[in-house]
Amino acid sequence: MFKKISYVLLALSLLLSIFPTLGLEKAKASDRYSDVGSNHWALDEIMYLADEKVATGDDTGRFRTTEPLTRAQASVIMTNALGASGLNRSAASFSDVNRNFWAYTRIERAAEMGIFQGNNGKFSPNDSIEKAQVAAVVARAFFGQESQNNDSSLNYGDISNSFWAHGYIATLVDNSIIEDKGNYEPNQPATRAEFAVFLARAMNENLRISEENDEKEEEDGTDKEPSEKEVLFEGIVDASTPLNVRKGPGMNHGVIETLRDGTKVDVYGIEGSWLVIYVNNQKGYVHQNYIDEADGVGSDDSSKPAEPIAKAKVTASTLLVRSGPSASYNSVGSLSQGDVVDIYEETSGDWVLIKFNGDWAYTHSGYLNDKTADKTIVIDAGHGGHDPGAQGNGLVEKNVVLSVALKVEDLLEDDGVDVVMTRRNDTFISLSGRVNIAERANADSFVSIHANAASAAAEGAETFYNNSSKARESRELAEAIQDRLVRDTGMSYRRVANAGFYVIKNTTMPSTLIELGFLTNSKDASRMKKAGYNDKAAKAVYNGIKDYYDW
């Protein structure tokens, strides 16, 4: 895809100081940072980064929320966040950043990826990064270079349609990362807290602004508390700081109450990783990580299914088995990698009902590889019609990927797989149309095939997955195909990364978007032009899919 720089978060380390120290313990931001109180405006975003173990402050225990960030520091943050190593060029790209500069390799990599740009041959590494520049960096990294062309109107009093960063800022507004009101102050230095908010919201959709949800919640008012018969279990708050009770299942929802450590609550439901409780006759949500089960609730064996619906193999080294469908239930044992279990029922979340030592129990489906007799797999050839995609060295993306996709279809159908194609000819299909095809087919997996473009130096195969749905399975599918692409086509191994591409972000089955190589790189293009390449690439994708499903 042309100028595709939507590289997305893989790294488990995100630097928010020049020389960070990452703590291994899980801690709340208000505990970790002395300058981030429970009412701090960026608490949720900072807490997210802390809980995900991707950010720390300085050695004094401060996040330094109001201090600015230099462009050099920001380049280090972004390249680490995107899982990119430094690029040690023999000759510096910028006249004010020599090879001895502490962030030289990261600045070079950030520039090579197209995330950062210089001005008149200079990078200005020690200048504070301005808010307009932060918008550009985040938009390029998470929503692609094409975000600069977003012409949506803005309400900001200080952002004109002709302002250089208008498209980037509009993209962040469109994706609910920032609010479109007042003044944006584009030329003001961004604080570390502001940078954390931009980054965390780009990483995690649950942190994004949700005015519609909050307005609806305010209209709902009070709720009638369910009867005791509807209680799943009694929980006890286990939190070193007051636990927020929110209007909805996510940190983007408003706080309606706080609970102190040791408070007992009745849990009435589970929505993802959030527990449904009632406070003062109002329905609320608390995160399951801060609730311990006080009293488990048994289940009636007569209501359980008699026969399993599937078999699955454990993919984690150790997989806990629990008494109920949530991490808040007590552990009753564990399974080991390679163990095969019978699945009797799928819950509304990510938990499945199994038999463990003769008793009913639950375990998380994200660590199980389900193998059933019949599969429906959607193969998506990117671009098409009036959208040619990437172009370089005499190759056009839409043609390359269609040829490969059709060969993948043949190979899978020979194995008895039900293959659904988003296109079989030079036709344009919208991104939402591709997602709808996969959803209507109730597909078991979705594979979108693309070819890449960037600078002439960028090379290699890369695959992407998204964390919004079936994250573990999607990552494993991406890894399996990536390994085969490198092994079977000779492309270099560029990365496997979490990304926000529309088709993998909005499909609900295990999904991956693969980049066969860079059409703009002479070595990659030379491989793609060789006779038999399309067959090799198709066989690699096919074998990767088989590796994912076969034990």
- In this structure, are 535 and 408 located in the same domain? yes
Q: 313: closest CA among 343, 344, 333?
A: 343
Average pLDDT over residues 292-308: 57
Residue 349 pLDDT more than 80?
Answer: no
- In this structure, are 362 and 382 located in the same domain? no
- In this structure, are 385 and 479 located in the same domain? yes
- In this structure, are 525 and 411 located in the same domain? yes
Residue 341 pLDDT more than 50?
Answer: yes
Q: Of 63-77, 208-222, 276-290, 398-412, where does mean pLDDT reach its minimum?
A: 208-222
What pLDDT was estimated at residue 24? 29
Q: Which of 207, 224, 257 is the last residue of a domain?
A: 207
Q: How far apart are CA 264 and CA 185, in angstroms?
A: 46
Q: How many residues does the chain have?
A: 551
Strand partners for 276: 269, 285
Residue 311 pLDDT more than 60?
Answer: yes
- In this structure, are 202 and 82 located in the same domain? yes
- In this structure, are 135 and 165 located in the same domain? yes
Residue 3 pLDDT more than 50?
Answer: no
Per-residue pLDDT band at 534 (split at 50, 70, 90): very high
Domains contained in the chain, number: 4
Average pLDDT over residues 465-479: 91
Q: Looking at the domain assignment, is residue 226 inside a domain?
A: no
Q: How far apart are CA 120 and CA 423, in angstroms?
A: 44
- In this structure, are 287 and 336 located in the same domain? no
Per-residue pLDDT band at 176 (split at 50, 70, 90): confident
- In this structure, are 365 and 384 located in the same domain? no
| Structural domain range at position 331 | 310-369
What pLDDT was estimated at residue 30? 45
Strands 264-267 and 233-237 turn out to be antiparallel
How far, in Å, are 413, 447, 480, 488, 544 from residue 484 at the CA level?
A: 19, 14, 7, 6, 6
Q: How far apart are CA 133 and CA 75, in angstroms?
A: 12
pLDDT in tens, 12-43: 333 333 333 333 233 343 457 888 887 788 88
- Cα–chain-centroid distance for residue 218? 29
Q: For the residues of 504-544, what is the DSSP string, one character each?
A: HHS-SSSEEEEEEEETTSHHHHHHHHSTTHHHHHHHHHHHH
- In this structure, are 254 and 353 located in the same domain? no
- In this structure, are 482 and 499 located in the same domain? yes
Residue 374 pLDDT more than 90?
Answer: no
pLDDT in tens, 434-468: 999 999 999 999 999 999 988 888 899 999 999 88
- In this structure, are 390 and 520 located in the same domain? yes
What pLDDT was estimated at residue 352? 85
Q: Looking at the domain assignment, is residue 220 inside a domain?
A: no
What pLDDT was estimated at residue 508? 93
What pLDDT was estimated at residue 2? 39
